[in-house]
Structure 1
Amino acid sequence: MDVGIFGNTGSGKSTLFRSLSGAASVSAQGKSAGVCAIKVPDERVDRMAEIFRPKKVTYISMAFHDIDAGETDLLSPQALTQLRDVEVLAAVVRAFADDYHPAPPGGLDPAAEFRELSSAIVLSDYLVAQKRIERMTKEAKRDAEWTALHKAIAAFEREIPLRNVDLSVEEERVLSGSRFVSRLPTLLVLNVGEGVGAGEMYPDVTEEAEKAKVPLVRLCAKVEEEIAQLSPAEQADFLKEMGIARSARDQLVRGAFEATRYISFLTVGEDEVRAWNVREGSTAPTAAGKVHSDMEKGFIRAEVISSDDLLRCGSMAKAKTEGKLRLEGKEYIVKDGEIVHVRFNV
């Protein structure tokens, strides 16, 4: 899964990216110029590791991309190409001022900045849709894509992003080839100054996020970058002293995952506790195929229990005694946070 971090020059998006790429949870193999792989925090994995004491603990990983918009053109052709290749957008808006980045004459307005970013994305999609319609008109094509494109254009003309348009499965399928950026799940990241509390300042940004139907994450990228330079133990001590359960960086990573159409399920045991991601609505055999292709081919049954039930029971043996472990067949839809053990034969 890929997340694109983007925003206006001076918004602090690159500082935010450095706070991610400098974190202890970065995969060295997944790190390259402008890209870093980050473990998705999951308390359920942490708790299962405490129960099973496995040799290995594996979290879901997400790749974060620092989208280079250039100095003058936020949505340059290069930036748009990069945005079309990700699955989630993290739009960073500025709510801080310092010696290097003084406030503009009219003052800071992060809510307006987000509206401008959103409008630029919708406009770029509108132009793509119009160009496609013109090509289809020349070819005299009048099919499902033609109808869906006109539906999309009607939304774009009202500055409604495609993610907020009710599309059928067929409409989503025929529009997927155009790779509209406004279809992507989006996070609004409010980058505040040092010493600014999470619930302080810019209440209009909260209203803007609710209006746009996007999650809001408040953080100070500069502070997060400093925290990322600490050792894991020092980070834990710092957060404990501040009375913070999770760093804003972890909230951002978790929020990005939850914004996707994926869920996570777990496999547990003494060898490994591991989280896996599958599309929402996936069946048990599809989930089994994430673990190993042979499990999907030879799927018989899946032993399933919710993480909450296992945590309440404290052990798999007690969970079986209390009847919390279920056997499910090929049509079963796996739910978020479930622990799945596959019975198969090949």
Structure 2
Amino acid sequence: MESRAYNFNAGPAALPLEVLKRAQEQFVEFEGTGMSLMEMSHRGKSYEGVHFETEKLLRELLSIPDGYKVLFLQGGASTQFAMVPMNLLSPGRKAAYVHTGAWAGKAIKEAKMFGEIAIAASTEADSFMRIPSLSELKVPEDAAYLHLTSNETIGGTQWQEYPDTGSVTLVGDMSSDILCRPLNVSQFGLIYAGAQKNLGPSGVTIVIMREDLIAPPAGAVPTMLQYATHSKSDSLYNTPPTFAIYMVNLVLKWLQEQGGAEAIERINKEKAGLLYDAIDGSGGFYRGAALADSRSIMNVTFRMENEELEKRFVKESEAAGFVGLKGHRDVGGLRASIYNAVPLESVKALVSFMKDFKQRNG
């Protein structure tokens, strides 16, 4: 499909072309049922087959150990910002957060509504262009949990390794980098991820939660905002986002075909390496935004000499078929989001464009 754009959007983001084609084949009639999946009861056998197969695929790809529940929820990561403290924070305990940028900041803002907050570490003084070292973390002894954002899409920073928090529950917002590399799920008590960057379309949020943490909240919490509600009903308490879960199912099958998390990490590192090499080798024409030891393999952020040159870059790149390279409105600059589904060929095309742009404007 020669007309498809080079999609570097930050989210909703690129989906594998193979997945889109498979969904297209089944869109009007799902597996000979005479109906689209979107028309079916979520309690019927056809949809339930998709639902539980999707959970099985996630467990396999992430090597999720026994004792963890997989939930399919709605409301995106933004709802999880509130659900986490509503369910895990109890009187006399603190909620500890690592402040690494805009998304961590949003989670902190929500948590403040439900109890006392402790900032275990912050990189605000460095404009959130780095991830704190493990030695910088100061987790209070009375912390109910430590929350971190594994990948900050706006700054383009990513945790390279996760802290050992001992008896304190580690919570991770992995919306923008889940399944970009292997993950030791057992390090975490709770992981959540909006699907629209690396797992599928918008509409479904994945939650992976240790079963011993699933309990009635300490305070009054609406039924739909209790993890226990969804755990007891296998995420079928109310109508789930059926088509979004089906698309996640197809994306997970595609990931298996690529070789799983280990194989996709090698591809992701190759893509990121090409872009960072083009930036670092440009003689200062392009400048990486995030510090080198905190660079994301999902969101590559960079700047140029001035905003006028950056605007020209965006305009010319759009004319050449590139989409989504303008940096987030809060920080400006440029950003290429190279999630799992972004083909290596798209990154090579971008590098070629960057070199040509430099020749004409350097």
Do the structures match in fold with TM over 0.5?
A: no
Higher RCO structure (Cα 8 Å, ≥6 apart): 2
Is the radius of gyration larger for structure 1 or structure 2?
1
Q: Which structure has more strand as a fraction of its residues?
A: 1
